[in-house]
Structure formats: C-alpha cells, structure tokens
Copies of this chain bind each other. A is one copy, B any other.
Amino acid sequence: MADEVILLDYWPSMFGMRTKMALAEKGVKYEYKETDPWLEYIDEVWSDAYTILPSDPYQKSQARFWADFIDKKFYDPSWKVWATMGEEHAAAKKELLEHFKTLETELGDKPYYGGEVFGYVDIALMGYYSWFKAMEKFGEFSIETEFPKLTTWTKRCLERESVVKALADSDRIIEYVNVMRKQFGAE
C-alpha cells in the first residue's frame, strides 16, 4: 500500500472529483496535481535522476515553447481531423499537415527534439503517437511518406522501453475514435 498518493488529474473530470471524494472519505492524504504542468512537477519531485527539461535557461524556454505549440496548436486539428466532416475536416487536415511540417522542420537532423537526449518535447509529442494512426486514417495522409525525419524520430523513440510501455495500442485508439465519431455525428 502506498504511503502517499499523487493524484494526477484534469480539473473538469468527474472521475477525478469522485476520486478526491473517495480519498477524503478514507482519510487518505494525497497530492493533487493538474495534468497540465505534469512533467515539470515530475522533474521537480524526482530531481536526482535524469532531467526531462534542460537546465540551460534558453533551451528550457525553447522546450516549453514547443511543448506549448503541441498542446495549443497541434492538439486542435489532431482531433478535428477525425471528429469533423466537410469543410471543417478539410481545414483541420490542412492545419494538421502544416503543424506536422513545422515539427519536422524544428526537428531537422537532430536525433531528438532535446538534441542528443530524449527530453520534454519528445515526451510531449510522443504522447500523441498512439493517435497518429487515427489521424492518418481519417485525414488520409501518411506520416511516413510526407515527414521522413519525423518518421525516423518516432522509430528512434520507439526503441526506448519507457515509450513502448507507455503507449496505448493504435488500433484500440481507432476503435475508440470510431465510437466517438458516432457520438459527434461525424459519420
């Protein structure tokens, strides 16, 4: 049994609210952490091990910039490409491909976004990897064909046990997306 619990949650989640009630009723002390700045929190708590965010201030601000880009720009078309139809779908696809291109250019010939080390931006973008197949299927494009550097990078990341063990099965995501598409009226 855990001595201390860290609850990683997203604030509007009814599951999170239930969990907080249950833990409080049990008298279990826990630390509540929003999922939004999760990785920085993890870096602070386990600061003695490998560092996710670079310590250099400039590199740190760059890493934050690209992680923000992924969540604020990339995220929106990444789900609209499978959740919408017609003009909205076409606009989402166009935007998504532009963002993939931007990410391909930013990566360039570096092994990782973090340079020589697998870091903050690599984790931020690989968090979406399980969803790539759904984006390709419903967006009708191929990452392998259009973004060779990103493709090499994903293969490099997939050599890491930490990554492979974290990812959800892409086909299970597609099944999930099919259910969501029905709910959103996108088919």
Contact = CB atoms under 8 A, between A and B. Distances in A.
Interface of A: 1-28, 31, 35, 38-39, 42-43, 45-46, 49-50, 52, 76, 80, 84, 88, 118, 123-124, 126-131, 160-163, 165-168, 172-173, 176, 183-185
Nearest to A117: B25
Nearest to A22: B42
Given A2-B5, A7-B8, A9-B8, A166 B128 contact: no
B7 A26 contact: no
Contacts of A168: 11-12, 17
A167 B17 contact: yes
B45 A1 contact: yes
A123 B35 contact: no
Contacts of A45: 1-2
A103 to B, nearest CB: 15
Nearest to A45: B1
B6 A5 contact: yes
Contact of A50 (B13, B26, B84, B176): B26
* Among A25, A50, A167, residue most surrounded by chain B Cβ atoms (within 10 Å): A25
